[in-house]
Chains A and B, each alone.
Chain A
Amino acid sequence: MSEVDMAVIKPEMMKSYIWLHTADGSIQQVEQEVAMFCPMICHEVIQKGMGSSKNYAISLPQRVNPAMLSLILDYCRFHQVPGRSNKERKSFDEKFIRMDTKRLCELTSAADSLQLKPLVDLTSRALARIIEGKSPEEIREIFHLPDDLTEEEKLEPLKNTTDDPRIRLLNRLYAKKRKELKERQKLKNIEVEEERVDDRSVDDLLSFINGDNGDSKGIKNSKSKKKNRRRKDQQKNTSANEAIKNHNKEPNGLNQVCCSAEVGQTVRAGVGATSNLHDVEDDIFDNKNELDDGDIDDEIDPALKEKIDRYCSYELRKSSKLTVSNEVTMEVEDFARRLNSDWPERMQEILSFGHERKPVHFSLNGNGSLRRYANSEQR
C-alpha cells in the first residue's frame, strides 16, 4: 500500500503507519500503535520525526532481521491492546516463547536492540531455563559456541546434587554418542584436530573409569545406583579386556590420546599445573558433572595412581605438544588392564587403527576400517 492509496481510504479506516526498514534493505509499514510499543521506534518517531514515509523509514538496528521483526511486531500487536487481562498476556507469552533455541537467541538479540524490555525479560528467562543445569559441553552444543578455552581455564567440576543418576547415565551416553558422531565427521579433516577430538573421547572414558577420586578436588558424594553401574561395567569389562589384549602394540595415535588423557587428569589434580592441551579438561568436566554420584569404581589402586601421576608430570615437564614414548605405551596398557576399564565401541575403533601402524593415524584406509567397525557396532 503506497501513500497515495492511503489518501483515498475512507476516514473510518484511516490508520497511521510507520515505515521501518531492516538492515537487509527490505522496507515495510506497520500500524503506528503497534510500532510505538517499541521504545526505540517511539524515540525515533518523536525525537527525530522519522518513519512517516517510505523515504524516511526508520532504520532498525542490524540485529533485527525481517523474520525477527515480524515476531516482535506480533508481540507488540498483542500487548499494546490495553484491554487484555494478565492471564491472557501470560498465556500468550508462554505460547510465544515456544520456538527453537536459535530463533530464541535471535529474538532476544533483536528485542534488546529495540529496547523492548518486556520481551527481553521474557526471552532471557526462557534462555535461562535452557541453560540451567546443563554442562558446558551441552551449552556449547545448544548455542553453537566455539570450544576455545584452554585446559587450565576450564573449571573444576562441580557437584551435581539433585539429578537422577539414571538420567545422568543417559546424558553421558548421549554425550559420548554425540562425540562419536562429531569425530567421524572430523576424521576427514586435519590430523591435529583429530588428535584433540580423540583425546576427548578417550579422556571421557578414562575419567569415567577413574572416578577421579584422588585426583580431582571437586567431586563425589553419595553412591546411589552404584550397583547398576558396576553391573554394567562388569558386563563390558570382559569384552573390553579381550579387545585390549588383542592389540599388544598401541599405535601412535593411541599413545598420544591416552597420554593426553592422563595428563588431563593430572592437570586437574595439580593446581597451577599448566599445559597447552586443548579441550581435554572439557570432557573431564562434562563427565564429572554427570558422574558425580560416585557410582563409578572408586577402588583405584593407589600405587597405580601414583604411577600415572608420575608419568603425567613427566609428560607435562616436556614440551607442550605431546610426545610419544614407549614406556608410556606400556603404562597405558597396564593401566587399562589393571583398572578393568570400560572401553566402549570407540576404543575399539581407535585400537583398530593400531593395525595400520602409521604416523598418520587416520588415512583413507583408516577411514575404511573405521566405517567397517562403525557399521558393525551399530548393528
Chain B
Amino acid sequence: MIGEEKVRSEDLNLCFEKLMMVAAGNSGGGVKRKGAVITEWKDIPMELLLRIVSLVDDRTAIVASGVCSGWRDAICLGLTHLCLSWCRKNMNNLVLSLAPKFTKLLTLVLRQENPQLEDTAVETIAKFCHDLQDLDLSKSFKLGDHSLYALAHGCPNLTKLNISGCTSFSDEGLGYLTQFCRKLKILNLCGCVKAATDCALQAIGQNCNMLQSLNLGWCDNVGDLGVMSLAYGCPDLRCLDLCGCVRITDDSVIALANGCLHLRSLGLYYCRNITDRAMYSLAHSRVKNKASIWQSMKGRYDEEGLRSLNISQCTALTPSAVQALCDTFPALHTCSGRHSLVMSGCLNLTSVHCACAVQSHRTLNSILHTAH
C-alpha cells in the first residue's frame, strides 16, 4: 500500500514541481514565496478594483466577488453590468444565487442558447435588483406571467426590456407590466404571439408614453386597433417593426404617420394589405408637419424623417407612390452604399430610385454622351 502511494505521490510531486515552474513563469512568481504578507493590497481602493473587474469577463467578475469580504463588498456595490449568456445549463441557479448579491445592477443580459431560466429566477431579480434598467430575457421559453408580475412590482425603472421569444407570456401579464414600468423606452416583443395582442398594445399606448422603439415582429395577433392605440399613445415612437403582422392595413400606417412624427424606422415586411394610401400618408404627413418638426427639433440631426423602410413582399404597392415617398424622405436610399429602402420581392418597384442613384445615373449618361 505504501509502495503504491509512494508512486502516486511521486507523480504528484513531479506535476507539482512542473506547475511551480510554469506558475512562476506566468504570474511572475507571485505564488512562489510564502513570505511576508503585504497588507496594502487588501486596502485597494474600490474604484481601482472595480476598474480591474470591468476589464475581465463576467465569469471572472463573479469569481472575484467570492474571493474575500473586501472584494465582495466592492464588487457587489459597484457591479452594474452583467451578462450570463455564456451559461449552458445552470443559469437559473446562478441567477438565484447572484441576484441577492448584485443589487446595484443596471443591465442584466440573460439571453439563453437553450432555455434554462425559470420564474423563480426572475422573481429573485425583481426582489433584489430594483435599480435594473435594462433586462434581456430573450429566448426564455420557460418563463410565465409570474415573471412579468414580479418585474412589474420589483423593477419599475426598466427602460429597456427584451422578451423576444418568450412565447409563454400572455397579454394580461404584459399589460400589467406596462402599468408599473412606465419608463419603458425600448421593448422587444418579437415572436411573443400570445403577449402582443391589441389589448396589450392598448395598454402600452396608455401607459408607456415614452416608448421609442417597439419590435412586434411575427406577432400575427396585432391588428389595426392595437397599432392605432400605439400611435396615439406613444408620440415619441421612432422605431417600429411590424414584420409579419399580416393583419395590418393602411389605417395603421396612416395613424402612425399622423401620430408619430419622429418615426425613423418602419418595418412592414410581409404586410400584404398595405397599399399606396399608406405611402402617400407618410409622405403627406412629412410635408404637412415639416414646420412643426423643425421647431421641436432645432439643430438635431434626425429632422430627416424616415431613414429606413422595409416594404418587402408588399406587392400591392405601385412605383409612383413609393417614388413619392423616396423623394420626400432624403434619408431613404436605394443606392448600394446606404440601402435603407428595402423592397425585395416587389417586382414592380424596380424603377424606384433615391436621389443619389439618379444622380450617378445621370452623370454616367452625360459621359457616354460626350464620348460620341
Q: Is the CB of B40 within 8 A of A109?
A: yes
Q: Which residues of B contact A176 (CB under 8 A)?
A: 12
Q: Which residues of A contact B94 (CB under 8 A)?
A: 156, 158, 218
Partner of B88, one of A148, A153, A221: A221
Is A82 an interface position by the 8 A CB rule? no
Q: Is the CB of B4 within 8 A of A102?
A: no
Q: Is the CB of B97 within 8 A of A156?
A: yes
Q: Is the CB of A108 within 8 A of B55?
A: no
Q: How far is the CA of A128 from the CA of B50 in the complex (A)?
A: 11
Q: Is the CB of B63 within 8 A of A155?
A: yes
Q: How far is the CA of A154 from the CA of B72 in the complex (A)?
A: 10
Number of contact residues on A: which range applies? 35 or more
Partner of A345, one of B5, B19, B23, B31: B5
Is B42 an interface position by the 8 A CB rule? yes
Q: Which residues of B contact A158 (CB under 8 A)?
A: 59, 62-63, 94
Is B346 an interface position by the 8 A CB rule? no
Partner of A170, one of B19, B31, B65, B71: B19
Is A132 an interface position by the 8 A CB rule? yes
Q: Which residues of B contact A135 (CB under 8 A)?
A: 63
Give the one of B87, B94, B98 with max A CB within 10 A: B94
Q: Is the CB of B89 within 8 A of A131?
A: no
Q: How far is the CA of A350 from the CA of B38 in the complex (A)?
A: 32
Least CB distance, B244 to chain A, in whole angstroms: 35
Q: Is the CB of A105 within 8 A of B44?
A: yes
Q: Is the CB of B71 within 8 A of A145?
A: yes
Least CB distance, B342 to chain A, in whole angstroms: 38
Q: How far is the CA of A159 from the CA of B91 in the complex (A)?
A: 10
Interface mask (A116-156 → B, CB under 8 Å = 1, otherwise 0): 00001000110110111111101111111111110001111
Q: Is the CB of A101 within 8 A of B28?
A: yes
CB nearest neighbor in B for A176: B12
Q: How far is the CA of A153 from the CA of B73 in the complex (A)?
A: 11
Q: How far is the CA of A102 from the CA of B30 in the complex (A)?
A: 7
Number of contact residues on B: which range applies? 35 or more
Interface mask (A171-183 → B, CB under 8 Å = 1, otherwise 0): 1011011000100
Q: Which segment of A257-265, A321-329, A371-379 sits at the interface?
A: A371-379
From residue 260 to 295 of chain A, which have CB atoms closer than 8 A to chain B?
A: 271, 285, 289
Q: Which residues of A contact B51 (CB under 8 A)?
A: 120, 124
CB nearest neighbor in A for B71: A145
Given A101-B27, A105-B44, A377-B59 contact (CB < 8 Å): no
Q: Which residues of A contact B15 (CB under 8 A)?
A: 170, 173-174
Q: List 21 A-B contacts (CB under 8 A).
A: A99-B28, A101-B30, A105-B44, A108-B52, A109-B44, A124-B55, A130-B27, A131-B56, A136-B64, A139-B67, A140-B67, A142-B30, A146-B69, A154-B66, A159-B87, A170-B15, A174-B15, A221-B89, A242-B1, A345-B5, A378-B13
Given A134-B63, A145-B70, 14 extra CB contacts under 8 A = A98-B28, A105-B41, A128-B52, A131-B56, A135-B63, A140-B68, A145-B71, A148-B69, A173-B15, A221-B89, A236-B4, A238-B1, A289-B63, A377-B9
Which residues of A line the B interface, CB within 8 A?
Answer: 63, 98-102, 104-106, 108-109, 112, 120, 124-125, 127-128, 130-136, 138-149, 153-156, 158-159, 161, 170-171, 173-174, 176-177, 181, 217-221, 235-236, 238-239, 242-243, 271, 285, 289, 344-345, 348, 376-379
Nearest 7 CB-CB pairs, A to B? A101-B30, A217-B93, A128-B55, A155-B66, A100-B28, A145-B68, A156-B97
